[in-house]
Amino acid sequence: MKRYLVFEDGTYFEGKAFGSNIETIGELVFTTGMSGYQEAITDQSYNGQIINFCTPMIGNYGIAKKFNESPKSFIKGVLAREIADTVGNYQSEMTIDQFLKEENIPGIYDIDTRAITLKIRKAGTLKAAIVDDLNSGLMDQIENWKLDKAQLNQNIIKKPQTFAGSGKHVVMLDYGYKQSIVDELQKRDVKVTVVPGNTSVTEIENLLPDGILLSNGPGDPLDHTDILPNIVELEKKYPVFGICMGHQLLCLANGAKTFKMKFGHRGFNHPVKNLETGKIYFTSQNHGYAVDPESIAQTELKVTQVELNDQTVEGVEHTRYDAFSVQFHPDAMPGPHDADFIFDKFLERLNK
């Protein structure tokens, strides 16, 4: 069955349908990762987005739900050059086609993913629709479509959830967290309590944490300005560590500014240089917003890491408080584990 990807500028690409049979609109982004399609599809930072996979084939090792980054997927669609007919993985529970049907997510395969990527790189991130008919009623809605805050917030937990550990206790403020962050902390025997991102400082204090983690998540960090005063209070009292969205929020709380990138960083081949050690490591990334480097100079933050391709601010450290953050994902699911030492750095601060 034919299926179409239609951009807000009216251009379209033709492919074949898989996954759910619904029609949808979303923000179209691309990821350069050569594996990890399941982790990407279930990463809440992709909320409201249609993911264009640059790798030539996805689905070859199927789906095993224990590797999900969240219990449910919030993406709008999947684009692939080819999907595998045969699954070669003893852990697999279903095909990617079956998984997308179960999650009610439409997909298109046999589509020119390379041309789509080049279009986004030239024009910047665009809105697009997945439709089965070019006369679909959705066609008139693409240009004015916007992901509302209600959908962005539907993935955030509503009440505290605790993950066992006999060591230090970390309270993680949830903006759309990945399970792999919890897993990395638990590997270090850290007890983790995940709470809604707007939880009050008093409620957090009552949980008796040793440290605070600001999670990743989707959307514009400026949508969370109401919680910035809480972050300022927390960094005065506890070690604070921010990842991705958490990095941006820590910077905003301390007076820096953020901006929307042309097409963002999504994949796990991004080289990051540690300005303190001179070391370079490859990182897993998924973000469409970044911190304005010029705005850092007006704050008590210092830049500690940069992305070598475009000099994006990839890490900061507070010069007065025990707070730091990274733009990339040290949990690296999927991706290289070059930077998982960042969790050890956080643990050292918890133990100090």
Helix (H) or strand (E) holding 271: strand 258-274
Q: Is the dihedral of CA 316, 295, 327, 238 positive or negative?
A: positive
Round to whole Å and give the CA distance between 43 and 218.
9
State which H helix or E strand residue 273 sits in. strand 258-274
- Give the burial class of 160: count Cβ atoms within 10 A of its Cβ; 0-12 exposed, 13-18 middle, 19 or more buried: middle
| Residue 68 assigned as binding residue | no
Cα–Cα distance measured from residue 199 to residue 270, given in angstroms and rounded to the nearest whole number: 33
Residue 62 annotated as binding site: no
SS3 56: coil
Q: Show me where the domains of the chain are located.
A: 2-151, 156-351
Query: What is the full per-residue pLDDT of the chain (352 aa) written as tens digits?
Result: 999 999 999 999 999 999 999 999 999 999 999 999 999 999 999 999 999 999 999 999 999 999 999 999 999 999 999 999 889 899 999 999 999 999 999 999 999 999 999 999 999 999 999 999 999 999 999 989 988 777 777 778 889 999 999 999 999 999 999 999 999 999 999 999 999 999 999 999 999 999 999 999 999 999 999 999 999 999 999 999 999 999 999 999 999 999 999 999 999 999 999 999 999 999 999 999 999 999 999 999 999 999 999 999 999 999 999 999 999 999 988 888 899 999 999 999 999 8
How far apart CA 320 and CA 316 sit, in angstroms, is: 12
Separation CA 268–CA 66 (nearest Å): 21
The helix-helix angle for 341-351 and 179-187 (nearest 10°) equals: 60
217 belongs to an annotated ligand binding site: yes
Phi first, then psi: give them for residue 295, nearest 5 degrees: -75, -20
CB 261 within 8 A of CB 290: yes
d(CA 254, CA 95): 45
Rounded to the nearest 10 degrees, the angle between the axes of helix 245-253 and helix 228-237 is: 90
In terms of C-beta distances under 8 Å and separation of at least 24 residues, what long-range contacts does 201-205 make, across chains too? Answer: 201/230, 201/233, 201/234, 204/171, 204/230, 204/234, 205/237
Cβ(341)–Cβ(296) under 8 Å?
no
Strands 323-326 and 313-318: antiparallel
Amino acid found at 57: M
What does the pLDDT read at residue 333?
85
**Which CATH architecture best describes the domain 2-151?**
3-Layer(bba) Sandwich (3.50)
Task: Identify the active-site residue in 97, 174, 210, 331.
Answer: 331
Residue with tokens 């917003």: 289
Catalytic residue among 174, 210, 224, 244: 244
Is 33 annotated in a binding site? The answer is no
For residue 159, what are the CA distances in angstroms to 87, 156, 203?
38, 9, 12
Q: Which of 83, 84, 80 is nearest to 112 (CA)?
A: 80
State the pLDDT at residue 45.
94
Write the CA distances from 260 to 124, 177, 220, 244, integer angstroms.
10, 21, 8, 14
- The β-bridge partners of 163 are 192
Does the annotation place 245 within a ligand binding site?
Answer: yes
264 labeled part of a ligand binding site: no
pLDDT for the residue numbered 205: 98
Annotated binding-site residue? 219: yes
Q: Is 329 a catalytic residue?
A: yes
Largest distance between two CA atoms of the chain: 63
**CATH architecture assigned to 156-351:** 3-Layer(aba) Sandwich (3.40)
251 is catalytic: no
* pTM (global) more than 0.85: yes
34 labeled part of a ligand binding site: no
Separation of alpha carbons 347 and 27, rounded Å:
36
Identical fold for domains 2-151 and 156-351, yes or no, is no
